[in-house]
Amino acid sequence: MALASPTTWRSTAAEVINGFSRHRLLTYASAIAYQVLSSVIPFACFTLALAGVLNADSLWRDDLAPKVLDSTSRELYALLDQTVRQILERQQFFWLSVGLALTVWEISGAMRATTEALDEIYGQHEHRSWRERYAVSLGLALAAGGLAVAALAAVLVGPSTVGHGLLGTLMAYAVAAGLLALAVALTLRLAPSARQPVRWVSLGSGVIVAGWLVVLGGYVFYATHVASYASVFGGLAAAFLLIVGVYLAAVVFLVGVLIDASAREETR
């Protein structure tokens, strides 16, 4: 994955830094991260409701609940257990529909913020009708969001499915990398107002996928091996790091876009 012209790392870094300042990309990164974070709770409720419909409630009772009890206070566990059981047993269809709708809506908001950021980077003006913009953002929310969830699932359950150890972990991350690369390609192709030429392999997309895997893997490791939820501080620390991780993922995405945009300008 190389730039199309002999652009040095120093000049590329300078272009990225200048691009963030010129296009106010940290503001866009904050908007994208906020929308993604707003989808976490409804998505969790949707997932629990889906487990209840599929009669997979034993996953919580036999596998997850004991681990949660070991790492949290009894008061917090009692609250979580009551909430989860209500969704699994009595509110399945409500959260199956409303949870999915809220999740898709929030992710589509992140896609619309992404569209504005890409148009700002590419120097484009929105010419599509509001119906087309919302249709594209909703479609990308389902497609790219689904690929991202599949990548998360690969990292979480892949090693135990394929086999514990270095080989299982590497295979899980390879699958996640492929899924994230497809999500990036779809977003860069469909989100901007004017279609952009998208290469499946480029320096920018490589930076995005690698950065996302680092952020995802780092947070999963912290949440499963380091964090202690037995105190209020532990829970707040995990929530804070989730916010930071999602924000960093948004920043990494925009860095990758700027790298490819800079390379494209060099070839003109």
**Separation CA 33–CA 30 (nearest Å):** 5
* Residue 91 falls inside a structural domain: yes
- pLDDT single digits (tens) 119-143: 999 988 888 898 999 999 999 999 9
pLDDT at site 1: 43
* Residue 4 falls inside a structural domain: no
The DSSP output letter for 189 is: H
* Residue 3 falls inside a structural domain: no
* Residue 169 falls inside a structural domain: yes
Total-model pTM:
0.85
Buried b (16+ CB within 10 A) or exposed e, 177-203: bebbbbbbbbbbebbbbeebebeeebb
* Residue 1 falls inside a structural domain: no
Predicted confidence band of residue 2 (pLDDT cuts 50, 70, 90): very low
State the residue range of the domain holding 54. Answer: 9-266
pLDDT at site 164: 65
Displacement of CA 98 from its chain's centroid (Å): 20
* Residue 2 falls inside a structural domain: no
- pLDDT single digits (tens) 150-160: 999 898 887 66
- pLDDT single digits (tens) 27-85: 999 999 999 999 999 998 898 888 777 776 776 777 667 766 666 667 667 877 788 77
Structurally, the chain folds into a number of domains equal to 1
